[in-house]
Amino acid sequence: SLYALGTVVAPIIGGALAEYTWRWCFLINLPAGAVTVVTLLLFFHPPQNTGAQRVSFLKQLDLIGCALFIPSIIMVMLALQWGGGEYPWDSATVIGLFIGFAVMIAIFIFWECYMGDQAMIPIVLLRGRSTMLSIAFAFLFLGSFVIPVYYLPEWFQIVKSASPIRSGVMLLPSVCTQVFGSLVSGILGKDRIY
């Protein structure tokens, strides 16, 4: 229900923010993230292995893996964003970002293998065929799913000359059918899983 509510309300709120105070688009996630972090620290108590020494939640996080992964993704995103526009594809900046991404992601993969079961992404999970096929399906499905959600509002604004709020309203029929389909498939699939 939260997914459905968020999916329906987000285009309108996003349109209002983009039309009037677009700078808030960068700051709107901070309060929600802060509430999430505080809630996790106060109320989340992960199960402990029997006979194991109790370790705090923060010590169980793979902070080094996170510190390797985030910059690598930022570098590849910057290279793809700047390449061909801000800088030519053969510029030292773009090539350096791609090389930095390759080096950082290689170090990240090595670190994840070294950490084993305590890693941010345990490599043992990726060995299963069903897991790898699920990841491939999600990558392909979400790649095709996100394109209309991303480009329809731009099309409404550029071709139809709609305001950002109007663009969010015009997106509602598409979003509502997606929410309806998700709810129906979730209800029908719930009985078949067990």
What are the angstrom distances between the C-alpha of 18 and each of 9, 36, 113, 152? 14, 25, 42, 15
For residue 52, the model assigns a pLDDT of: 54
What are the angstrom distances between the C-alpha of 92 and each of 71, 81, 82, 85? 18, 15, 12, 14
For residue 51, the model assigns a pLDDT of: 53
Tokens standing for residue 20: 């009037």
pLDDT digits (tens, 9 = 90+) for 156-173: 989 999 888 888 888 888
pLDDT digits (tens, 9 = 90+) for 110-169: 999 998 888 888 888 888 888 889 889 888 888 887 788 778 888 898 999 988 888 888
| Cα separation, 114 vs 55, whole angstroms | 20
Cβ contact 87:93 at 8 Å: yes
Q: Using the predicted structure, report yes or no on whether residue 109 has a pLDDT greater than 90.
A: yes
For residue 117, the model assigns a pLDDT of: 83
